[in-house]
C-alpha cells in the first residue's frame, strides 16, 4: 500500500500564514487540526497568540434560575 505525499504542508509557510486575517487564520487552524496537520496547527496557534485579539475569549455558561418561572398577573 502506497501513501500519498503530504502536499498540503508544503503549501503553507509562516510568511503566507501571517498574511491571513484572524478569522481565516482560526479557520486554517481548525482545518489543520481536523486533517491531522500538527505543524500547520502549531504555527497558526503561535501567530494567533501573538495577535491582540487572536484567540477567542472563553464564554461563561449561563446559570439558569432554580424553580419554576413566576409570572405576575396583576
Q: Which residues have a Cβ under 8 Å from the Cβ of 49 and sit 6 or more positions away?
A: 55
pLDDT, position 34:
92
Full pLDDT tens readout for the chain, 74 residues: 555 555 566 688 889 999 999 899 999 999 999 999 999 999 999 999 998 876 666 566 777 777 776 677 76
Enter the pTM of the model. 0.62
pLDDT, position 72:
72
pLDDT, position 1:
53
C-alpha cell at 65: 434560575
3-state secondary structure the chain: CCCCCCHHHHCCCHHHHHCCCHHHHHHHHHHHHHCCCHHHHHHHHHHHHHCCCCCCCCCCCCCCCCCCCCCCCC
Amino acid at each position: 500500500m502506497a501513501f500519498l505525499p503530504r502536499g498540503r504542508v508544503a503549501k503553507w509557510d509562516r510568511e503566507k500564514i501571517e498574511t491571513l486575517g484572524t478569522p481565516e487564520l482560526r479557520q486554517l487552524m481548525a482545518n489543520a487540526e481536523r486533517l491531522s496537520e500538527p505543524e500547520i496547527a502549531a504555527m497558526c496557534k503561535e501567530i494567533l497568540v501573538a495577535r491582540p485579539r487572536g484567540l477567542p475569549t472563553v464564554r461563561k455558561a449561563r446559570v439558569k434560575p432554580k424553580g419554576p418561572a413566576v409570572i405576575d398577573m396583576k
